[in-house]
Amino acid sequence: MVALPVTTTPSTPPAQLVSAAGTSPQLPASTPTRVEIPALGVTSRVMELGLERDGSMEVPPGAYPVGWYDGSPTPGQLGPAVLAGHVDWEGEPGAFYGLRELLTGDTVVIDRADGTVATFRVDRVEEHAKNDFPTEEVYGDIDHAGLRLITCGGAFDEDTGDYEDNIIVFASLTAVS
C-alpha cells in the first residue's frame, strides 16, 4: 500500500507539552488508541504497524482498525505521525473510505494511551501514483507535530488487485486536551 518509509524518530523527543509563541503544540510519546474523523463520521481503534520483510510498511489486516506506523512519531510528537487504513476491504468500505473527500480545515482527533487527545487540522489532501509516492514529504522530518493519513485511491487494477494511487492527508496539530 505504501512506499518504503524514511525513519523520522526525533533525536530528542519533547518531555512535555510545548506551545511557545509562534510554535505549534507538541506532546511526549504516547501510543494512539483511537482515531475520529468527524467530517466523515469515522471512528476506529488504532493498532501498531511495523515493516514487512521487504521494508515496506505493514497494512491493517482488514477494513478496520486503522494502523499507526511505529517507525514514525506518535501523534502529537514532533514530526509526521503516519496512520494507514484501507479504502475498502472485500467489497465493503474501509476506515479511510472517504479520505479523499476531506477539506482543508477539517479535523482529525486522536485519542492517546496517556489519556490526552490530540486534534489535527487538515492542511491538504493529495493523490499520488504509487510509483511516484512522495516518501520524503510523508515520512521526512518536519518542524511541527504533523499527521499523515494514507489510503489507496485512483483506478483499481483488476489484474493486480491493487489501486494505482495513494490518497495522502497532511495535517498539523492544533489542540491538545
Where residue 83 sits, what CATH number does that domain have? Answer: 2.40.260.10
The pLDDT of residue 24: 72
Domains in the chain, number: 1
Residue 20 has pLDDT above 80, yes or no: no
Q: Is the dihedral of CA 18, 24, 25, 31 positive or negative?
A: negative
Average pLDDT, the chain: 89
The pLDDT of residue 5: 39
How confident is the model over 33-67, as pLDDT tens digits? 999 999 999 999 999 999 999 999 999 999 999 99
Residue 20 in domain: no
Range of the domain at 90: 32-176
φ, ψ (nearest 5 deg) of residue 130: -60, -30
How confident is the model over 78-128, as pLDDT tens digits? 999 999 999 999 989 999 999 999 999 999 999 999 999 999 999 999 999
- Closest residue by Cα to residue 60 from 3, 2, 21, 110: 2
Lowest average pLDDT, out of 4-8, 85-89, 141-145, 153-157, goes to 4-8
Residue 18 in domain: no
* Residue 3 per-residue DSSP state: P
The burial of 166, by beta-carbon neighbours within 10 Å (0-12 exposed, 13-18 middle, 19 or more buried), is given as buried
Lowest average pLDDT, out of 23-32, 55-64, 124-133, 137-146, goes to 23-32
The total number of residues written for the chain in this structure: 177
Residue 22 in domain: no
Residue 4 in domain: no
90: region left, alpha or beta (phi > 0 left; psi from -120 to 50 alpha): left
**56 vs 37: CA distance, rounded Å:** 26
The pLDDT of residue 26: 92
CB 15 within 8 A of CB 29: no
The burial of 85, by beta-carbon neighbours within 10 Å (0-12 exposed, 13-18 middle, 19 or more buried), is given as buried
Residue 9 has pLDDT above 70, yes or no: no
Retrieve residue 87's grid coordinates. 479504502
pLDDT band at 23 (very low <50, low <70, confident <90, very high): low
The pLDDT of residue 176: 96
Over residues 136-148, mean pLDDT: 97
Residue 66 in domain: yes
Distance of CA 134 to the CA centre of its chain: 14
